[in-house]
Structure 1
Amino acid sequence: MADEKENKEEFKHINIKVVGQDKSSIMFKVLRSAPLKKLMTVYCDRLNFNIRELRFLYDGSRIQDNDTPTSLEMEDDPAEIDVVKEADGGACA
């Protein structure tokens, strides 16, 4: 029974709100088992960004390409992902 419940969870969707630094947002509906790399790629394509120039964060932690809503334990509907520009920094001498 537990395996059957887990399989059903795998095919459930979650709404995810992706919020940029300018506070604009785009809503996505994704499978809980889907890698978030696809969402990040679609977001960048829509807004004409290079994915290497952005950082996607959930609860303050950077999202990795193979992370899924399930692996990040996203519960809110919609869950919220923040997007910030990758900062190139250096140490002050």
Structure 2
Amino acid sequence: MPSIVISNETPSVITNDVEEIEPQPTNYINLHVKDTDDIKLYFRLKKTTQMRKLMDSYCDRNALDFYLMVFLFNGRRIYPHQTPYELDLEDDDAIDAVLHQQWRREPINIKVKGQDGFQASFRIRKSAALKKLMDQYCYQYCLDVNGVGLLFNGYLVQPEQTPFELGIEDGDEMLAMLHLRTGHARCL
């Protein structure tokens, strides 16, 4: 019969002279930062440490100016005050490091096709939230922004997402779908 060992550490169970230790949650996380050439640099930090520490360390090791860099997780910008815990990062997650100019880039053209077959074209920066495009589309066609959803590659686009995050390139097409809920259109 197993016996319980009492100590100040995590409880463990001894079975036939083999000690089974329950896994302990760790306060640390292992991350890697990769550049545009896919070169990776590995970091270990506390989940409550501000990302500024990782960013500074990455820039120092690569002789880069912190203010010229943008750090992204799944296409979303990471801010220096955020922590791995706030960003919901997990062990071995990848963070992209890009030069600010590469991230912002020139505007791209995105086509938005309505259910009625009409198509409109919009210029937007890859770093801009798609809310701007949604608002302009709805204003142009006198639609309630709360009653329209945009789809890209079959997935509903969230207003805070960016073309960069979704992998939208110049000339790509989105589909505008009317939601079933009703609202009041604001148009002049």
For this structure pair, what is the TM-score category when the shorter chain's length is used for normalisation? 0.7 to 0.9
Per the normalisation by structure 1, the TM-score is 0.83
Across the aligned residues of Structure 1 and Structure 2, the Cα RMSD in angstroms comes to 1.9
Q: Which has the higher strand share?
A: 2
Q: Deviations over 1:31-83 (max 9, x none)?
A: 000000011001101110001111111111111011000000113x2111100
The answer for the alignment partner of 1:19 in structure 2 is 113
The whole-number CA distance in structure 2 between the counterparts of 1:81 and 1:47 is 16
Paired residues, number = 87
> Which of 101, 104, 108 is the aligned partner of 1:8?
101
Q: Which has the higher helix share?
A: 1
Gaps of 5+ in 2: 1-34, 37-68, 71-97, 182-188
Percent identity for Structure 1 against Structure 2: 31
The answer for the alignment partner of 2:126 in structure 1 is 32
For residue 85 of structure 1, what is the amino acid of its counterpart?
L
Per the normalisation by structure 2, the TM-score is 0.43
The whole-number CA distance in structure 1 between the counterparts of 2:172 and 2:128 is 14
> Which of 136, 139, 143 is the aligned partner of 1:45?
139
- Structure 1 runs, 4 residues or longer, greater than 6 Å off: none
The structure, 1 or 2, with the larger RCO (C-alpha pairs under 8 Å, 6+ apart) is 1
